[in-house]
Amino acid sequence: MGRDDIISRCDVEDMIAQGNIITIYNGKVIKMNKWIERHPGGDLLVRHFIGRDSSLEIEVHHSDETMKFMEKFVIGRVQLPWDSFVPPIQGGVFRTKEQQLAESQFDEGVSLTPPDAEVCSSGCDKTSKVPSLKEAVESTQPKTYNEARDKFVEEIESEELKRDLERYPSLDHETQDFVISEFRALHQKMKDLNMFQCNYWGYFREFCRISLLTSISFYLLSKKWYFWSSVFLGLAWHQLTFIAHDCGHQELTHNYQVDNIVGILVANFLGGLSLGWWKNNHNIHHVVTNDPVHDPDIQHLPFFSVSTKLFTDVYSSYYQKIIAYDAFAKFLIRFQNYTYYPILCFGRFNLYRLSWDYLLRGKGPKKGESAWFRYFEIVALLAWFYWYAIILVGRYVDGGWNKFMYVMISHFCTMPVHAQITLSHFAMSTADIGMAECFPQRQLRTTMDVDCPWYFDYVHGGLQFQAIHHLFPRMPRHNYRQAQPYIIEYCKKTGLEYVIYGFTKGSGVVISRLEEIANQAKILAHVTSHLQEEAFEHIAGQIDQEKKNEELAAAVEKKRIEQRNLEAANRANAAAVGM
């Protein structure tokens, strides 16, 4: 098979059904079997593009050198436009050629119901044991509840889907191709304006600001002003997060090795968090944004739910486990609009757990140029623990209560970065409108920006422009404000919606969204309780009726026996008289 040969859709499906890693890039068929385990972004990311046209995603997330390197894996071409398959990791089912042929020849008139599956109308067992009240409720209630829950969730999700389909451009090829072509022009415009070139002056200012915050923290620590020392250390960590973020996207130098080394020094050694874990998590978030089943950035049960889809046990493709909507989650979700900010204060502790889980279990690339980062990260995290926990807190903070307070306050002060990310997504759509939706439309539908004066950008780190960041993940964040007018113009031209709120109003929108989901959880809980009571009463009535029927039958039988005994006695008396 040559690089320019046309590969049919059936052949692509057949190759994927046989376990091949196939994606489409500008009409080219890319087979990544030999590369997936070396992919710096992890194999899970690639699996979300199997069978899909991933052209725009590849272009915005990779350098020109990487895209040239991908030419080595081209095995043919496909006819355009390409209707994307649903990837296997998202539930897509693929057939081999033999299965496709068998299905095409299948006679739809043939019944698939086996003879022994016919419904019994007269020969059923009428003497089955009546269950106990407890057994009856337990066996009937879950089915009733699941049906009611599924219908409840389906109605809410279908309403959200309907709103999105009305608000955003049509999913037909002509409309989506126009949105894509305009985005390519916008992307080129950003290149022409040097928007992808790093503003090192901005990093110099950040270096000065972080150095000042750290110096103040250490000075206050030397004076034993523990509270304010911990506050300034937390603020320094907050600012460091933005630099680590940039390194993870190769925005600093666009050199993979250099940016990762700098990022590990900033994130791991200075901040105690794994850059590799964050990249692995964040890259998935960028390609399946706000998908309740696949995006780990909105999978926060039992504490938060931003979609009614999470009102049931969901198998997370990222965590590769069931995220349970258990009794604890059902209780907490009903108050999530009140617990939102308090729980975010503890967010950094959870990131420690996720960081170590990622590194110790070796979830990152095991081959290729990024494999050695795992060991570098572990050493850097241990070094962070040494200087922060053992030296700084252990030696320089006196007293058990002061140590505890110092740790808590320094971590609580990093909360704004967690609020920053959740603010840009929690209030946005979680509906899945299908594979036909193009990359820029998906990002703008699921992400919002936060408005603030230019002189306040340093507090948000520039990442208040999350929608712009999602459109251009390799663009240095210091250029987002300058790029904003061009994105607004693009949205007006294509009919896309650019959502932006001030921080206060945006926070209100998020709280309202959380309250809406909380209220829906309360309604579902009420429905559950009502259904259980109904099931209880219904089956209790059935059992009571069965008992009455049994008592009546027993009484009738007793009457018959008495009648027979009486008749027998009369016959005996008559016989005696006759003698």
Whether residue 86 is found in the same domain as residue 202: no
Q: Residue 572: its pLDDT value, please?
A: 65
Please identify, among 94, 120, 143, the residue that sits at the C-terminal boundary of a domain: 94
Cβ atoms < 10 Å from Cβ of 570: 10
- Answer whether residue 283 shows pLDDT above 60: yes
- Band (pLDDT 50/70/90 cuts) for residue 138 is very low
Is residue 237 in a domain?
yes
Confidence of residue 370 (pLDDT cuts 50, 70, 90): confident
At 129, which amino acid appears?
A: K
In sequence order, which residues have a C-beta less than 8 Å from that of residue 48 and are 6 or more positions away? 87, 89, 90, 284, 287, 288, 294
Residue 529 confidence (pLDDT) above 80: no
Distances in Å between the Cα of 347 and the Cα atoms of 160, 184, 350, 351, 543 are 29, 37, 5, 7, 52
Buried b (16+ CB within 10 A) or exposed e, 78-92: beeebebbbbbbbeb
Tell me what the mean pLDDT of segment 416-445 comes to.
Answer: 91
- pTM (predicted TM-score): 0.83
**Of 504, 531, 563, which residue sits at a domain end?**
504
The pLDDT-based confidence of 369 (bands split at 50, 70, 90) is: confident
pLDDT at 123: 39
Tokens coding 481:
């404000």
pLDDT at 531: 57
Q: Which residues pair with 316 in a beta bridge?
A: 321
Residue 478: is its pLDDT beyond 80? yes
Long-range contacts of 149-158 (CB under 8 A, 24+ apart): 149/311, 149/312, 149/524, 149/527, 149/528, 150/312, 152/308, 152/311, 152/520, 152/523, 152/524, 152/527, 153/308, 153/309, 153/311, 153/312, 156/308, 156/520, 157/307, 157/308, 157/309, 157/431
Model confidence at 112: pLDDT above 50: no
Locate all alpha helices (DSSP H) within 269-335, ordered by sequence.
275-287, 327-333
The answer as to whether 147 is a domain residue is no
What average pLDDT score do residues 546-573 get?
70
Percent of the chain with pLDDT over 70: 86
Please give the pLDDT value at position 455: 85
How much is the pLDDT for 36?
A: 87
Dist. CA 369–CA 365, nearest whole Å: 9
Q: Determine the pLDDT at residue 73.
A: 92
Is residue 524 a part of any domain in this protein?
Answer: no
392 in a structural domain: yes
Query: What does the pLDDT average to over 35-62?
Result: 90
Work out the mean pLDDT of the chain and round it to a whole number.
86
Question: With 70 as the cut, is the pLDDT of residue 127 above it?
Answer: no
| 78 and 202 belong to one structural domain | no
Question: Per the domain annotation, does 188 fall within a domain?
Answer: no
Query: Are β-strands 22-25 and 321-323 bridged in parallel, bridged antiparallel, or unpaired?
Result: unpaired
**What does the angle CA 420 – CA 499 – CA 484 come to, to the nearest 5 degrees?**
85
pLDDT surpassing 60 at residue 292: yes
CB within 8 A of 224, min separation 6: which ones?
398
The rounded distance, in Å, linking the Cα atoms of 210 and 218 is 12
> Bridge partners of 321?
316
Contact partners, residue 403, CB within 8 Å, separation at least 6: 393, 394, 397
Q: In what order do the strands lie in the sheet with 28-31?
A: 22-25, 28-31, 74-77
pLDDT at 313 over 70: yes
Least confident of 82-96, 121-135, 438-452: 121-135
Q: What average pLDDT score do residues 358-380 get?
A: 91
346: pLDDT strictly greater than 90: yes
Whole-number pLDDT of residue 539: 54
| 287 or 562: which leads in pLDDT | 287
Mean pLDDT of 477-497: 95
Q: Per the domain annotation, does 327 fall within a domain? A: yes
Least confident of 96-105, 217-226, 421-430, 542-551: 542-551
Task: Return d(Cα 412, Cα 235) in angstroms, integer.
Answer: 10
| Number of structural domains the chain divides into | 2
Please say if the pLDDT value at position 201 is more than 50.
yes
Cβ 13 vs Cβ 100: under 8 Å: yes
Whole-number Å distance between alpha carbons of 388 and 395? 10
Joined tokens for residue 11: 């052949």
Q: What is each CA distance from 153 to 144, 157, 495, 524, 526, in whole angstroms?
A: 14, 6, 29, 9, 14
For residues 227 and 90, state if they share a domain.
no
**Considering only 69-78, 135-144, 383-392, 492-501, which range has the smallest mean pLDDT?**
135-144
More confident residue, 538 or 204: 204
Distance CA 558, CA 556 (A): 5
pLDDT of residue 408: 97
The pLDDT of residue 458 is 84
Is 424 strand, coil or helix?
Answer: coil
Quickly tell me which residue has 């890039």 as its tokens.
25
**pLDDT of res. 351:** 94
Q: Do 286 and 420 lie in a common domain?
A: yes
The C-alpha atoms of residue 169 and residue 438 are separated, in whole angstroms, by 10
Distance between first and last Cα of the chain: 114
User: Measured between alpha carbons, how far is 168 from 180 in angstroms, rounded to an integer?
Assistant: 14
- Which residue pairs from 518-527 have beta carbons closer than 8 angstroms and sit at least 24 positions apart in sequence? 518/333, 518/334, 518/335, 518/336, 518/337, 520/152, 520/156, 520/308, 520/311, 521/305, 521/311, 521/330, 521/333, 521/334, 522/334, 523/152, 524/149, 524/152, 524/311, 525/330, 525/334, 527/148, 527/149, 527/152
Is 509 a member of any domain? Answer: no
pLDDT of the residue at 236: 96
pLDDT at 68: 86
Average pLDDT value for residue range 197-226: 93
Give the separation between CA 515 and CA 513, rounded to whole angstroms. Answer: 5
User: What is the number of other CB atoms lying within 10 angstroms of the CB of residue 432?
Assistant: 21
Q: What is the dihedral of CA 198, 506, 165, 325, to 10 degrees?
A: 100
**Range of weakest confidence among 241-245, 384-388, 417-421, 482-486:** 417-421
Do 279 and 426 share a domain, yes or no? Answer: yes
| Ranges 340-349, 376-385, 542-551: which has the least confidence | 542-551
Upper half-sphere CA count for residue 102 (Cβ side, 13 Å)? 5
Q: What is the CATH number of the domain that holds 59?
A: 3.10.120.10
pLDDT at 117 over 50: no
- Asked whether residue 59 is assigned to any structural domain, the reply reads yes
Residue 450: beta bridge partners?
501
Same domain, yes or no, for 83 and 213? Answer: no
Q: What is the pLDDT of residue 121?
A: 38
DSSP secondary structure of 176-225: HHHHHHHHHHHHHHHHHTTTTS--HHHHHHHHHHHHHHHHHHHHHHHTT-
Q: Which pLDDT score is estimated for 538?
A: 52
Domain around 330: 198-432+499-504
Under the banding of pLDDT at 50, 70 and 90, the label for residue 135 is: very low
pLDDT at 373: 94
pLDDT band at 105, cuts 50/70/90? confident
The residue out of 481, 504, 527 marking a domain boundary is 504
Please, which pLDDT band fits residue 107 given cuts at 50, 70 and 90? low
| One domain for residues 64 and 211 | no
- Residue 140, pLDDT above cutoff 70: no
pLDDT higher than 50, residue 41: yes
Instruction: Note whether 396 and 260 are same-domain residues.
Output: yes
Residue 356 confidence (pLDDT) above 80 = yes
